[in-house]
Amino acid sequence: MESTALFSTTFRPPSLHLRSRHLSKHLPPTTPFPLLRSSPPSFTTTTPYLTTTSKPSFKPISASSSSSSTPITQPTQPTQSQGAKLLPLTLSISTGLLLRFLIPKPLTITPQAWNLLSIFLSTITGLVLSPLPVGAWAFLGLTTTILTKTLTFSTAFSAFTNEVIWLIVISFFFARGFVKTGLGDRIATYFVKWLGKSTLGLSYGLTLSETLIAPAMPSTTARAGGVFLPIIKSLASSGGSLPNDPSAKKLGAYLVQSQFQCAGNSSALFLTAAAQNLLCLKLAEELGLVIASPWLAWFKAASLPALVSLLLTPYILYKIYPPETKDTPDAPAMAEKRLQAMGPVTTNEWIMIGTMLLAVSLWVFGDAIGIPSVVTAMLGLSVLLLLGVLEWNDCLSEKSAWDTLAWFAVLVGMASQLTNLGIVTWMSNCVANFLQSFSLSWPAAFGVLQAAYFFIHYMFASQTGHVGALYSAFLAMHLAAGVPSVLAALALAYNTNLFGAQTHYSSGQAAVYFGAGYVELPDVFRIGFIMACINAVIWSVVGGIWWKFLGLY
């Protein structure tokens, strides 16, 4: 073996989408597809990861960027027809019209509220059927609310000044900083060096490194595609485990599944580990539920069940989905060589470390000194811009951040107005009365509603889309059924992270990991369902005892 063998990679950084991708090019014709489609980041990783001494190269994505392998002078290829897809458009509009004109309006609901509900329903149906890209369709829904005079212009656009939405947008820029500086890659490589002598130890090393990075890199998709998948592909290929090949089960399939299933728990552990966490608490606030010291409250409630799940998941998968290669004695040596190739920690990496420590500290203690979370994020981004770690073009080219701003703001704004106009209360009371007809206690109602919220995600390919569509309604149902408010809000939010590993389309990281080609589709569904049930048991039993101790019920 040559002493110069190193493990490194060259990849195109993620556009940091939080939504999944239509994966038709990866799937057989009979594969079921998600109903809610959108485009995740694309990654181009050279393999093997062990053959070059170059550091990860970062190329900002811009609207005009093209593949580096395509000459600029290449003739323009024929394009598909432009505009909305006719059948999804018709079905989406018809859904709202049916509610508006064919279903009798309840006496307690105002015409304005009924109009808004019909527009919201059409918007959600369009997000599922995708007649247009998510942001474009949401903008059409927003325009309709103004055109029909259901909402005024200022009311319709009020959510664009929402602090939580801007916090989510800025989190995309933080994630890009981790990828651009190579800091995330360095941290993960250290854990490979320390724990990578066996396949199981390697899995624990990658899991612990993601847990460490998660609170300061609030994008599961960015962590998956920008940090961990390149390392997993490198380690797998060096062990003779290749994608789309029978050898995938030697090592790569297990590492991908383990990292994928653990990602939901690491995202659930910290409030700032995923954008949808912040959105959940904002929607809870719209219903009048304000959680004091949210970062600490979130972490305390999640800590024990999440850590138990993180410790058990790699071992459980090692038993039910075992790798053929049990030992990886060369991995620590390769990690050491990779670290030598990286050289000492760069100035930009130190700045990134300092900025993230400052941000996390202020997220934890900011409420006590009067600094809101969004101001902390703004301060951190300002430091990165001032010191040149990020350039403004990096932010401008982060298209997914601006797209998220548009469609999140529309959904949050509509959901807020539906609450103000009494629709959410009316719907929740209807469901609560139905549950009470079965004489269910609040713990039983809690279990039924949590299970429904979890498994309905098979119909969605976006965690944030799921939250925007259903979180407020389900939280209101919990409250109407007598479930303690903080328990209901946090449990729904934790589930929002856990159902991200159900299928190959259930989240942004799902698309990234499945697209790597190591795991077959039947195994994705089988392992996803098994681990969903195991997580449900862990969070119900361990979480239930822990939450009782914390006084949440």
SS3 sequence, 349-386?
A: HHHHHHHHHHHHHHHHHHHHHCCCHHHHHHHHHHHHHH
d(CA 510, CA 230): 15
**Token reading at 477:** 């149902």
Distance from C-alpha of 21 to C-alpha of 510, rounded to nearest angstrom? 9
Q: Look at residue 327 and give its three-state secondary structure.
A: strand
Instruction: Give residue 461's pLDDT.
Output: 64
Q: Give the model's pLDDT for residue 116.
A: 94
Total-model pTM: 0.70
pLDDT at 493: 96
Tokens 């090692």: give the residue.
318
In this prediction, the residues of the chain whose per-residue pLDDT falls under 50 are: 1-76, 78
**Rounded Cα distance, 129 and 38, in Å:** 10
> According to the model, what pLDDT value does residue 48 have?
37
pLDDT of residue 437: 80
Q: Return the pLDDT at 423.
A: 85
* Dihedral over Cα of 115, 137, 40, 24: its sign: positive
pLDDT for residue 1: 41
Plot region of 2 (φ>0 → left; ψ -120 to 50 → alpha; else → beta): beta
**d(Cα 172, Cα 397) in Å, to the nearest integer?**
11
Q: How far apart are CA 197 and CA 335, in angstroms?
A: 11
CA distance 66 to 51: 26
Tokens 């190739």, residue?
341
